[in-house]
A = this chain, B = another copy of it.
Amino acid sequence: MSSAERLIESTRELLWERGYTGTSPKEIQRRAGAGQGSMYHHFAGKPDLALAAINRTAEEMRAKAEAGFTVPGTAMERITGYLRRERDVLKGCPIGRLTQDPEVMADPGLRAPVEQTLSWLRDRIAEVLEEGRERGELAPGLDPRTTAATVVAVLQGGYVLARAAESTAPFEQAITGVLDLLAAHTSRPAAG
């Protein structure tokens, strides 16, 4: 790996573990095994390097989510698959956690990929739900837009509960709860 690559990957790890405010350029250099000169040769500074790291994490997150949404199945199956996918629950969401980082939120350039990723996710889930409604799988009264916001919020809040409890149990409960609530809005198959 080139030193620019190592710097980006080390920054991604540190942002996830310690956040932006809690990570110093020195720590990034140490983890990347790169000197200060190398870091400032490749990147204008910590914000520039963090932006490269956040953009890459955001792209990965979208690609993984999209892979779940495009599988065959009912809307309910695709949403379930997405929510039940294996995750590093106790580490939390590498994008969502940045919303608690005061220096990321204060920098419009760093906040933009966080906003875009979470807003894309809501849009994408709303589309899946809308498709389900059009195919008659979901009750016509279900609002795709607000339900999608609920689904993404449950995921993000589930991480908060799991981290507080140092256990994945409340995350799993929150996911089960929202899927059970949603299940009542699926159209029952005609009796065979």
How many chain A residues touch B (CB < 8 A): the figure is 56
Among A140-172, those with CB < 8 Å from B are 142-143, 145-161, 163-166, 170-171
Q: Which A residues, 47 to 100, have Cβ-Cβ distances below 8 Å to chain B? A: 92, 96-97, 99-100
- Name A residues whose Cβ lies closer than 8 Å to a Cβ of B: 17-19, 21-22, 92, 96-97, 99-103, 105, 111, 114-115, 118-119, 122, 139, 142-143, 145-161, 163-166, 170-171, 173-174, 176-178, 180-182, 184-185
Interface majority SS (helix, strand, loop, mixed), chain A: helix
Q: Which residues of B contact A18 (CB under 8 A)?
A: 21, 102
Instruction: Judge whether A105 and B157 touch: CB under 8 Å.
Output: no
| Complex contact B102–A164 (CB within 8 A) | no
**Cβ-closest chain B residue relative to A158:** B153
Residues of B within 8 A of A164 (CB): 96, 99, 111, 114-115, 118-119
Q: From residue A110, how far is it (CB to closest CB) to chain B in Å?
A: 11
Assess whether B22 is in contact with A170, with CB atoms less than 8 Å apart.
Answer: no
**Inside 8 A of A147's CB, which chain B residues have their CB?**
177, 180-181
Residues in B neighbouring A178, C-beta threshold 8 A = 150, 153-154, 178, 181
Hey, which chain B residues are within 8 Å of A119, CB to CB? 164-165, 170
